[in-house]
Amino acid sequence: MVYLGLEMKKMKRRKFLLVLTFVCFVTAIIQYAMGNMTYCGVKYGSEVGWFFKNGLTTNSYYLLIPIFSLVGMELFLLEVRNNTLNNLLSIPIRKGDLIKSKMLLLFIISVIYTMLLFLLMFVLELSLNINSLDTGIVFLYIARYLVHGVICFIISAFIVSIMLYLEQSIQVAVVTGFVLSFLGVFISQTEIAYIYFVNAMFYISGVVDSTVFEKLIASSVVLFIAVLALFFYGKSVKREF
């Protein structure tokens, strides 16, 4: 917990969280503009749940993974950039604990960002559907946003672990995250999209109707990605970042 507190202070000094909040609000503004577009005189957002679903889909395919990958790399490379890593390792601190604290903070940021996104979409839903929005769909999408937030964290952690192992930059990590996410848009058109880890989250959360078998395969794929991430972080423990 001490390490986690230190990591949070570093991020606060970098004003990184303010930037993430700004990005989240910009995303909501874009969704608001899209929802107020009309087709045959009817606004897209007037359909109950439109903002929830469209916000979740577009962010999962285009933004969440690149953003979380950026945050993860920033957490790990901050000491390298400031030339403080060797000083940290000269005191009684285990590199494994340092990695765990950074991953825990990335997880917390990922969940908070995703739930902030949900709250903004909830406000947009209220703006057009306040009389027809029921608690059932609200709680359904709370669960879906949480699932996507956690899985996007796992995928981003995997990307970060690979980038650290290959000693790549933040820019490469962000581009990799975006490309892997964007590929999911095309793979979603296939019948076996659930075997690709980006699309797997849609099957697990129920955004895409799926069978029990498809959900099991999708869950196994995500679990495999998590195991791979742990493997590469284990490799990183044995050397400097």
State the average pLDDT for the chain: 88
Residue 40 has pLDDT above 60, yes or no: yes
Residue 84 has pLDDT above 70, yes or no: no
- The pLDDT of residue 99: 82
pLDDT digits (tens, 9 = 90+) for 185-225: 999 999 999 999 999 999 999 999 999 999 999 999 999 99
Residue 55 belongs to what H/E stretch? helix 50-62
The answer to whether 202 and 61 are in contact (CB under 8 A) is no
What is the b/e burial string over 158-183, where b = at least 16 CB atoms within 10 angstroms of the residue's CB? bbbbbbbeeebebebbbebbbebbee
Structure tokens that stand for 121 in this block = 């979409």
SS3 content of the chain, % helix, strand, coil (to 5): 80, 0, 20
Three-class secondary structure assignment of 140-195: HHHHHHHHHHHHHHHHHHHHHHHHHHCCCCHHHHHHHHHHHHHHHHHHCCCCCHHH
Residue 80 has pLDDT above 50, yes or no: yes
pLDDT digits (tens, 9 = 90+) for 88-128: 555 556 777 778 888 999 999 999 999 999 999 999 999 98
Hey, is 43 helix, strand or coil?
strand
Range with lowest mean pLDDT among 90-99, 149-158, 227-236: 90-99
> What span, in angstroms and rounded, lies between the C-alpha atoms of 94 and 92?
7
- Tokens 């340092």 -> residue: 98
Nearest to residue 137, comparing CAs of 148, 126, 149, 127?
126
Q: Once rounded to an integer, what is the mean pLDDT over residues 17-27? A: 90
- The pLDDT of residue 131: 83
> What span, in angstroms and rounded, lies between the C-alpha atoms of 78 and 6?
12
- The pLDDT of residue 12: 65
Residue 86 has pLDDT above 70, yes or no: no
- The pLDDT of residue 161: 94
Q: Once rounded to an integer, what is the mean pLDDT over residues 123-138? A: 90
In this prediction, residue 241 has a pLDDT band, given cuts at 50, 70 and 90, of: very low
In this prediction, residue 79 has a pLDDT band, given cuts at 50, 70 and 90, of: low
- The pLDDT of residue 202: 98
**Number of neighbours of residue 5 by Cβ within 10 angstroms:** 11
Q: Where are the beta strands (DSSP E) in the chain?
A: 38-39, 42-43
The answer to whether 69 and 219 are in contact (CB under 8 A) is no
Residue percentage of the chain with pLDDT more than 70 = 86
Backbone angles phi, psi at 39, to 5 degrees: -135, 120
